[in-house]
Amino acid sequence: MKKSKLFLAVLLGILCLSSCSDDDDNEQLPGNVNKYEFLNATSYTDWVYFSFEKGKIVDITDPENDLSWDIAFHRGDMRLNGGESGKGKGAAVNTNKTDWNTVTEAPASGYITDKIGTITTAFTGDGIEEAEQSFSQTLATWLTIDTSNPPPVYTYHNWVYVIKTADGKYVKLQVYDYKDEKNSLGAYISFKYQYNESGSTKFE
């Protein structure tokens, strides 16, 4: 009888340790890698807002006060929910790496919030129109467009960025295409991302 009780106590202890270990592992479990292709950002006047938590475009009417979006797209521009663009914790750092697999952890510092700058708001027969709006100057480095001779030449720099979402969680992001599915029209954004819902800084 005593041996049975001792065996039961040991077994319960092992199960408890295993359960606690599993819980700890789950807290640090990084998110899955996802792709979103051909996001239509062709409008010169409107921004398209996206939630990493939901993995989809969200309808936003008051972006400066709404925490349900994380990143927004306008032509080749991007903004984050932080700094001059929103009341969230959004910010970005360029890892200066192009190999997705070499970025395994979010940097501890270096994150930059959105600032006011110049973006193109119209393109007509009379030329381009510009306006001062908030956007991420860090993420703006993903693409260079040379319009000196038609047609435009697009250079993708393939930087891997780490960004903070509106609520401060970490996302690894690589924006890799500006064309539509027919590889013709511009301002269709394709990107790869890993959203760490647990709040982990690890990307594995």
Task: Tell me the DSSP string of 89-101.
Answer: --EEEE-----GG
Structural contact between residues 114 and 90, judged by C-beta atoms closer than 8 angstroms: yes
Of 142, 166, 144, 164, nearest in space to 153 by CA = 144
Task: Say whether pLDDT at 148 is over 90.
Answer: no
pLDDT for residue 151: 85
* DSSP letter assigned to residue 21: H
**pLDDT in the model for residue 192:** 97
pLDDT tens per residue, range 39-92: 999 999 999 999 999 999 999 999 999 999 999 999 999 999 999 999 999 999
Name the pairing type of β-strands 161-164 and 91-94. Answer: antiparallel
Judging by beta carbons within 10 Å of its beta carbon (0-12, 13-18, 19+), is residue 4 exposed, middle or buried? exposed
Q: Which residue has the higher pLDDT, 98 or 32?
A: 98
Residue 113 reports pLDDT greater than 50: yes
Q: Tell me, what's the pLDDT at 31?
A: 75
**Is it the case that residue 161 has pLDDT exceeding 90?**
yes
Q: How confident is the model at residue 150 (pLDDT cuts 50, 70, 90)?
A: confident
pLDDT the model gives residue 30: 61
User: Residue 79 in contact with residue 134, Cβ under 8 Å?
Assistant: yes
pLDDT tens digit sequence for 22-42: 444 333 446 799 999 999 999
